Amino acid sequence: SYELTQPPSVSVSPGQTASITCSGDKLGDKYASWYQQKPGQSPVLVIYQDNRRPSGIPERLSGSKSGNTATLTISGTQAMDEADYYCQAWDSSTVVFGGGTKLTVL
Amino acid sequence: EVQLLESGGGLVQPGGSLRLSCAASGFTFSSYAMSWVRQAPGKGLDWVSAITGSGGSRYYADSVKGRFTISRDNSKNTLYLQMNSLRAEDTAVYYCGKDQEYYDSSDFFDYWGQGTLVTVSS
């Protein structure tokens, strides 16, 4: 079955840039989406189709992809960005999520 | 405003059954695919099942195939998940998610419900 790999944790200082990666076989041929989930809350879509941002999502969150690795970048990280982040792709009629990355703002 | 409201969760014994519902509003329900996604306590997101807008096509994760059935009633703007032969490892918060018009490679979930907790335990 298809798998997406994320680092379990990423730490960043306030105001700095955080990058969360998501890698998968032939991910370069698929669309990647990203979700933010804060404790006790439902996931929220923050990036779709690799680099498109839904309305209401701050511009400091951006998505990109190079080869088979998608990256969520958070510029000027704020305390409110501390959350779990999940990447997602679609493969063979199934939706696949990465294992999630806990972003800690130190 | 798009709203998704799940219900039907609770405590059930191993081998038992449960039916979840997701009441949708704020969009043309029949025009969009819908999915169920679960999250075990302290774990990540796990896609369970999807259904196209017309209900004509259904898709399942291998872990639930043959035990769970997804359905929808477009006249009631409601999505369902019938869960049979439940196991301890099915314990999770179950979310319904609004997919895009076409369930395909460009799919993503732009809205999520608040989730309903299913606990499978004796």
Q: Is B110's CB within 8 Å of A93's CB?
A: no
Q: Is B104 an interface residue toward A (CB < 8 Å)?
A: yes
Q: Which helix (H) or strand (E) holds B36?
A: strand B34-39
pLDDT score, position B54? 94
Q: Residues near A55 by Cβ (< 8 Å), separated by ≥ 6?
A: none
CA atoms of A100 and A4, how far apart (whole Å): 9
Whether residue B62 lies within 8 A of chain A, CB to CB, comes out as yes
**Single-letter amino acid code for the residue at B112:** W
Quick check: A28 and A67 in contact, CB under 8 A? yes
pLDDT per residue, tens digit, chain B (122 aa), is: 999 999 999 999 999 999 999 999 999 999 999 999 999 999 999 999 999 999 999 999 999 999 999 999 999 999 999 999 999 999 999 999 999 888 887 889 999 999 999 999 99
Q: What is the reported pLDDT for B105?
A: 78
Give chain A positions within 8 Å (CB) of B59: 93-94
Residue range A46-74, pLDDT digits in tens: 999 999 999 999 999 999 999 999 999 99
Residue contact B110–A49, C-beta within 8 A: no
